[in-house]
Chains A and B, each alone.
Chain A
Amino acid sequence: EADIYQTPRYLVIGTGKKITLECSQTMGHDKMYWYQQDPGMELHLIHYSYGVNSTEKGDLSSESTVSRIRTEHFPLTLESARPSHTSQYLCASSDTTGAATNEKLFFGSGTQLSVL
């Protein structure tokens, strides 16, 4: 199993603040992902990375940005938080071995963000 860590677990912050949500994995996985999830709803992909210095936007438009300077680290940044950014953010990783269709994601525990 992959070890993937997200901090903070909960974050309450005021409008206009800059925030960074941390995500780290210890399994050396090349692929990492950020999903956004509103309460009781499906997950939506907002960013992904297939390796160092590679980042792409996902299906759901997001004002957040990501970086991938090290394999194990995939932080997500919001330059100016707004109440509409209130949501749960889940980070995931996977290795690239095996057929594409059976690629399994390992998820962190998530960060619950509340912007006041």
Chain B
Amino acid sequence: AQKITQTQPGMFVQEKEAVTLDCTYDTSDPSYGLFWYKQPSSGEMIFLIYQGSYDQQNATEGRYSLNFQKARKSANLVISASQLGDSAMYFCAMRGLGSARQLTFGSGTQLTVLP
């Protein structure tokens, strides 16, 4: 079975500063993918970034980067230069192979950006 753990129920960050949202995972699959999604108060889930378990470099997408530490089984999301519109719930998720190929989500982190 695979499991995603997000230990920060809520985080605050000052506008224009960087923030790191923690995510650790557990899986027995040799190959897996890690995702981050953003859920604003409107409810939809927005894909942010993907990291494959065999990718040599950390994934980046604009202001989002994923700090992937395979040995520690962590996949932290880093948001640089926070904006007020970044205030939302952030979910870490993973997908494995075979019976674990469905996307499993963590419990989320509520990020609030302060002006």
Q: Do A and B bind each other?
A: yes
Q: Which residue of B lies closest to A94 (CB)?
A: B103
- Whether the pair A100, B44 counts as a contact (CB closer than 8 A) is no
The verdict on B25 contacting chain A, using a C-beta distance below 8 Å, is no
The verdict on A102 contacting chain B, using a C-beta distance below 8 Å, is yes
Find the residue from A43, A48, A100 having the highest chain B CB count within 10 A.
Answer: A43
- Whether the pair A92, B101 counts as a contact (CB closer than 8 A) is no
- Whether the pair B108, A42 counts as a contact (CB closer than 8 A) is yes
A93 to chain B, nearest CB (A): 12
The verdict on A84 contacting chain B, using a C-beta distance below 8 Å, is no
Partner of A43, one of B31, B50, B91, B110: B91
- Whether the pair B97, A43 counts as a contact (CB closer than 8 A) is no
Partner of B108, one of A40, A102, A103: A40
Query: In the complex, which residues 33-55 of chain A have their Cβ closer than 8 Å to any Cβ of chain B?
Result: 40-45, 48
| Number of CB contacts from chain A to chain B under 8 A | 63
Partner of B97, one of A58, A100, A107: A100
Given A42-B106, A43-B91, A48-B102, does the pair A104, B42 have CB atoms closer than 8 Å?
Answer: no
Partner of B45, one of A59, A90, A100: A90
Q: Which residue of A lies closest to B108 (CB)?
A: A42
Q: Which residue of A lies closest to B54 (CB)?
A: A101
User: What interface size band does chain B fall in?
Assistant: 20 to 34
Find the residue from A42, A92, A107, A109 having the highest chain B CB count within 10 A.
Answer: A42
The verdict on B43 contacting chain A, using a C-beta distance below 8 Å, is yes
The verdict on A86 contacting chain B, using a C-beta distance below 8 Å, is no
- Whether the pair A101, B43 counts as a contact (CB closer than 8 A) is no
- Whether the pair B107, A42 counts as a contact (CB closer than 8 A) is yes
A109 to chain B, nearest CB (A): 5
A7 to B44, CA, bound (A): 13
Provide a sorted-by-A list of 6 A–B residue pairs whose CB atoms are within 8 angstroms. Answer: A42-B4, A42-B91, A42-B107, A100-B95, A108-B44, A109-B44
Task: List residues of chain A with CB under 8 Å of any chain B CB.
Answer: 40-45, 48, 58-59, 88, 90, 92, 99-110, 112
Task: List residues of chain B with CB under 8 Å of any chain A CB.
Answer: 4, 31-33, 35, 37, 42-47, 50, 52-53, 89, 91, 95-97, 101-108, 110
